[in-house]
Amino acid sequence: MLTLCLRGLERDGLVKRTVYSVMPPRVEYELTPLGQSLTEPVIALGTWAREHIEEIDVARAAFDEAMNTPKART
């Protein structure tokens, strides 16, 4: 799964993959300039999530409760 995610990021131009022909094989990944440009938005998203975690937890609990409640037959 990790490999699929990394390949997708590489395809999108967000990471650069470097393969070294050594034993054992070694691969390194680094952010491209395009990937680095996402740093600020990702930090902002993390900040938002931390600020709203209680609301998110309440919404998740309500959703889970609704999904586990048997539906009345009509």
In the chain, where the domains are located: 2-68
Question: Residue 72 pLDDT more than 70?
Answer: no
Report the pLDDT value the prediction gives residue 8, as an integer from 0 to 100: 97
For 50, the 3-state DSSP assignment is: helix
**Is residue 6 within 8 Å of 19, Cβ to Cβ?**
no
pLDDT in tens, 5-33: 999 999 999 999 999 999 999 999 999 99
Q: What percent of the chain has pLDDT over 70?
A: 93
Rounded mean pLDDT, 49-70: 93
Burial 29-46 (b: 16+ CB within 10 A, else e): eeeeeebeeeeeeeeeee
Helices (H), the chain: 2-11, 33-36, 39-51, 53-68
3-state secondary structure of 30: strand
CATH topology of domain 2-68: Arc Repressor Mutant, subunit A (1.10.10)
pTM above the 0.85 mark?
no
